[in-house]
Structure 1
Amino acid sequence: MIHENLLLIVTLLMAVSMLSMLSEKLKVPYPIFLVLAGLVISFIPGIPVVTLNPDIVFLIFLPPILYAAAWNTSWREFWAARRTISMMAFGLVFFTSTAVALVMQLLIPDFPLALGFLLGGIISPPDAVAATSVLQTVKVPKRVVTILEGESLINDASSLIVFRFALAAALTGEFTFSNAATNFFVVAGVGVFIGLLFGFALFYIHKYLPTTASIDTSLTVISPYLMYIVAEYFHTSGVMAVVSGGLFLSYRSHEMFSYNTRIQAYSVWDVFIFILNGFVFILIGLQLPAIFTALQLYSLAELVFYGLVISVLVVLIRLMWVFSGMYLSCFFNKRERKLSWRNEFLIAWSGMRGVVSLASALAIPLTLEGGAHFPHRDLLLFITFVVILFTLVFQGLSLSPIIRWLKISEEENEDKEQEVEIRLRLADAALNHLQTNYVAELETIDAYGRIKDRYQRMSEIANQKLLKEDTEKAVPHFLPKYRRMLLELVNVRRRELYKLRNEKSYSDELLRRKEHELDLEEARLNE
């Protein structure tokens, strides 16, 4: 019961926050650090054995994590890279599952092919959080991040569908490829339909009903659970429902949310996803004792050998698939811009496994339909854990050195130019509006004139950047000092606000409101 484990849950949540601070200090991505920390904590004497319920992972953790990832993915960039993403999310999953099945049958002669596909479906999808959280600490091209994020959104669905069919084959002993292929497209397609249906409904609720920022934020938290549960109720893909609904709502978010809803929702979701991700990764590390104690039929050397062979196999398969697939994709589509081999290697090396793989492995039933013990279940769990640990720690920790060694950097020039163009367009639009609608006020009221001068300066500075005329003299020496001055004024006003609070003569509500205004201003200046 939850009340019996409440102290453990709260303690783990506190540990997530403390360990995340330590990971920031040590410059280690927090998913990797939390997995290792959970592994160390699990061997402390007296620590209770923590078992992860797969139903809880799929129901509580997976929908919001996928929804947040979909929300932060650009639909335009996602669609532009759709061929590459589809090749990774579907083709690579099926190829990995097949290769793992064949190799496991070679390693263990009595290992059924259906169980091999089951293991392949479990360990084929890279984690939606691990790669992007590692890449946040370094600068890489946006197209690389888009492909990795898009792949992680879709491959969870394809791998879970492979897992379902392989599990059904293992339980019943029957498998028909044509039926499986047909069911795959039905399950995925209906899942997408359900997600879009909820997306349309929620769009009109947010846009046309009299909601508040708190109601809108609450609905965004409830939405992924609703999409997932309904899709799973009809035996379709809950993952595809959440991803498709999240992408649709993200694309239309500017039409349905007010500024205060966006500010509140983004803050809530940042905290919510941080807690969920941290909790899941530390739970992964805590699973080893429960998995290891159940293994009695194999020696430690055999277990480590099987785990390392499969780990190396999935890494090599991904490397081979990415390089060959990218070449074929560009060969058949001449208009597609080819990535450099360095960026292709980065995509291939970022295949870190995580919580979906472990939850899938734990979802394997204990017995077959006739009541017999499920064959090799403990071995499947152990190999899954080794693959997660190997890819997450070895590949995750080596990503930053590899990026520096290959001299991969963010393509900043295009983004900077676009940012300046946007700034110029916004400033010119504001100037045109002022000069069209407030002609008399601009001539007679100083406040209007100062606003006009402000936007004129913004437009001139943006033009100087675009034309590169006296840029080094006019912009770099002026703007940083100007920004520092504005930040100093924010801090001066903040100190005065503290004095007003200590005087105890003013309303706390008004003081909090003014403090929030200063927070927003400081956040804008620090962007």
Structure 2
Amino acid sequence: MDTVLTTLGLLTLVACSGLATRFLPRVPLPLLQIALGAALAWPDVGLHVPFDPGVFMLLFIPPLLFAEGWQIPKREFGNFRGLILVLAVGLVLATVAGLGALIHAMVPGLPLSVACVLAAVLSPTDAVAVSAIAGRHRLPPGLQHVLEGESLMNDASALVAMKFAVAATMTHSFSLPRAALDFVLMACGGVAVGVAFSWAFGLLHHRLLRWHEGHPVKPTVLLLLLMPFAPYLIAEHFGLSGILAAVAAGMTANMLDVKSSRFNASHLQTRATWDVISFAFNGLIFLLLGLQFPDILRHAPPPSHALGPPSGQHLPELFGAALLIMAALLALRFAWLACLTGLPVWLARLRGRTPAARPSLVLLGVGALGGIRGAITLAAVLSVPLTLPDGTAFPARDLLIFQAAVAIVLSLVIGSVGMPWLLRKLDGSAATAHEREERWARKRASLAAVRLLDTVPAALEPLADAAPGEADADALAAVHARVGHDYRRRLAQAAGDHRERRASHWSTHLEKTLRLQALQAERNELHRLRLRHQINDETLRTLVDELDRHEVALRGHGG
């Protein structure tokens, strides 16, 4: 009963925190939720929720990563795949090596492998927190897509790096070739599991779980919501990357869905449910972090004696070390982005070509501040083993947890202050690219519907043959321009005129059929534009959702 009440209380807090942002618009929602959690747990008689990293990873991470994999625009992901890969793998490895060496030098007596464990858990970023902090200041589309793709991919590389750093601490040995081979096998295996499962599920969905046109089946919606957990569990069972399996499953499911332009009313129900689940899970993640924070501070270890007993008397020195670590993370990220974007310019000049425009320092600053730490960092550091194989305590585990927790909060605070300030200095023209694409796609879809309406006489011949005797060609033309058909139908029904009611019913059915055909023509055109990469997934999703809502209303059911 206590667990149920605690869960209900936390979900209520998540909802209240979302409402509170209306009155505190300048406070990022993740930061507010962390503060609420810390306030609840700070007194000795406060709320204390035990944190099991395994349960946390299984319950929260697969659905959130699956949803991010589903929603990320695949066209932009392909366009920026090189930059995303270098950030998700190269920057993680550089952070583990560079930051690990710095932490090893900062803390006397701390083994290098343990310092690399901390560097590894600080490597993954959280795109959800970035979007929450940006708020009403829309990120430039290109940068947003890069940050989203990086956060999807670097979770796996960071956790694999952490795994090998922990193994090196416990066994006192490390083999770089073996680690590289294991990394490739885990990553490729996880992706293969996600793609295969999503493809098989899609096949069953279209062949065995088919429903009557326009009538969604709620069990199917429930299966779609449970879908992310299966590839994650399968991959983890075989020692592969469950995170990449969930991401690959989400991306594959979206690509399979794009290929089908058939109306599916359950899409609206599924997407609405996913939005609520994502909001609740993200809120719970940051509340749980806040709930752990007081205990982490109370058990803060002395930084200059990492292997000593816990103590809470060294907070100034610990926070100073945390600030230095955060400064190093930001500097390394900024330098990495500057080198990545400057290299093509340098190569173009070397070959005597006109280089492309180099990103401004403001844009690079936004990219550096976009490396906010979040849920994966907390779960990873709390999953560090308690003891070594010989039974002794894992070196400096309390220090690792403290520094990781403070880094999450510092990255949120620095980002919430610096990112909106920098975004105001950027040219807003780039942020309107999505709106221009959406307007263009809407125009193309409308033209497709108009082309279909031009062929109405031929398309509706079967219905015209079945029309009442009083109907003629003028009735077909009237269907196009009729505005007050609802009122005439109501009057006919009120008068009890059976002949008029029959004619009204036929013309209403004719108009409904015509509108459904026009909506399907729009949907076909939008999917064709997406398959040709003329629009991205976000534009397709926005406009198809509008068409689905119109069709659900026209069919007279809401699922």
TM-score bracket, normalised by the shorter chain, equals: 0.7 to 0.9
Match among 325, 332, 335 for residue 340 of structure 2 = 325
Q: 1:392 aligns with which of 409, 412, 415?
A: 412
Contact 1:64 1:225 in 2 (8 A): yes
Aligned to 1:469: none
2:2 is aligned to 4
The correspondence for 1:419, drawn from 431, 434, 438, is 438
Aligned-partner residue type, residue 228 of structure 1? Y
Report the equivalent of 1:159: 158
Q: Hey, what's the Cα distance between the residues in 1 that align with 2:226 and 2:6? A: 26
> Alpha-carbon deviation of 1:443?
4.7
Q: Which residue of 1 aligns with 2:256?
A: 252
Residue number among 309, 313, 317 corresponding to 2:328 in the alignment = 313
Matched, 1:429 2:448: yes
> Cα offset for 1:109?
2.5
Corresponding residue number in structure 1 for 2:426: 407
Query: Of Structure 1 and Structure 2, which has the larger fraction of its residues in helix?
Result: 1
Residues 121-520 of structure 1: matches in 2 within 5 Å? 121-211=120-210, 212-255=216-259, 258-298=263-303, 299-329=314-344, 331=346, 339-404=359-424, 406-409=425-428, 411-412=430-431, 414-438=433-457, 443-450=474-481
Please say which of residues 97-106 and 320-329 is displaced more in the overlay: 320-329
Distance of 1:353 and 1:186 partners within structure 2: 26
- Stretch moving more, 202-211 or 240-249: 202-211
Find out whether 1:70 has 2:73 as its counterpart: no
Alpha carbons of structure 1 residues 331 and 153: separation in structure 2 relative to 1, 3 Å: farther
Q: Is the 8 A contact 2:369 2:414 kept in 1?
A: no
Q: CA deviation at 1:66?
A: 0.6
Deviation at 1:420, TM superposition (A): 3.3
The offset of 1:295, in angstroms, is 3.1
Distance 1:447 1:31, change over 3 A: farther
What SS class does the counterpart of residue 6 from structure 1 fall into? helix
SS at match of 1:252: helix
Identity %: 29
Structural RMSD (CA)? 2.8
- Over 3 Å counting, the alpha-carbon distance change for 1:451 and 1:324 in structure 2 is farther
CA positional deviation for 1:149: 0.6
CA deviation map 1:226-246 (0-9, x unaligned): 010000000010011111111
Which residue in 2 is equivalent to 1:20?
Answer: 18
Paired residues, number = 461
Between structure 1 and structure 2, the one with the greater Rg is 2
Map Cα deviations across residues 285-324 of structure 1 (whole Å, 9 max, x no partner): 1112222233354522332222221121111111111111
**TM-score, normalised relative to structure 2:** 0.77
Letter of the structure 1 residue corresponding to residue 280 of structure 2: I
Aligned mates of 1:451, 1:66 — CA distance in 2: 48
Match of 2:41 in 1: 42
Displacement, 1:15? 1.0
Superposed CA offset, 1:139-191 (max 9, x none): 22211110111011001011011011111111111101111111111110111
Q: Counterpart of 1:524?
A: none
Alpha carbons of 1:516 and 1:433: their partners in 2 closer, same or farther (altered >3 Å)? Answer: closer
Is 1:213–1:264's contact at 8 Å kept on the other side of the alignment? no
211-220 or 409-418: bigger deviation: 409-418
User: Closer, same or farther in 2 for the Cα pair 1:249/1:429, shift >3 Å?
Assistant: same
C-alpha distance 135-270 of structure 1, shift in aligned 2 (>3 A)? same
**Cα distance 1:427–1:443, how it changes in 2: closer, same or farther (>3 A)?**
farther
Q: Which residues in structure 2 correspond to 1:23-102 (within 5 Å)?
A: 23-27=21-25, 28-102=27-101
Aligned residue number for residue 505 of structure 1 = none
1:470 maps to none
Change (3 A) 1:207 1:390: same
Q: Which has the larger displacement, 185-194 or 214-223?
A: 214-223
Q: 1:273 to 1:445 in 2, by over 3 A?
A: same
For structure 1, which runs of at least 5 residues remain unmatched after alignment? 459-512, 521-527
SS in 1 for 2:58: helix
Runs of 5+ in structure 2 lacking a partner?
211-215, 304-313, 465-472, 484-510, 519-551
Instruction: Check whether the contact 2:133–2:415 (CA below 8 A) recurs between aligned residues.
Output: no
- CA displacement, residues 487-506 of structure 1 (integer Å, 9 cap, x when unaligned): xxxxxxxxxxxxxxxxxxxx
Instruction: Label 1:296 to 1:97 Cα distance change in 2 as closer, same or farther (>3 A).
Output: closer
Hey, what's the Cα distance between the residues in 2 that align with 1:265 and 1:196?
Answer: 21
Residue deviations 1:86-116 (CA, integer Å, cap 9, x gap): 1111111111111121111111231111111
Deviations 1:367-400 (CA, angstroms, capped at 9, x unpaired): 0011001110000000001100100122123321
Does the aligned pair in 1 maintain the 2:141–2:431 contact within 8 Å? no
Residues 1:294 and 1:341: Cα distance change in structure 2 (over 3 Å)? closer
Q: SS of the residue aligned with 2:324? A: helix
Cα 1:378–1:29 shift into 2, 3 Å: same
Q: Counterpart amino acid of 2:36? A: A
Distance in 1 (CA, whole Å) between partners of 2:175 and 2:241 is 20
Of 216-225 and 369-378, deviating more is: 216-225
* Larger CA deviation: 442-451 vs 160-169: 442-451
Question: Aligned equivalents of 1:12 and 1:270: distance in 2?
Answer: 18
Q: Which runs of 4+ in 1 moved over 6 A?
A: 333-337, 451-455, 513-520
TM-score (norm 1): 0.81
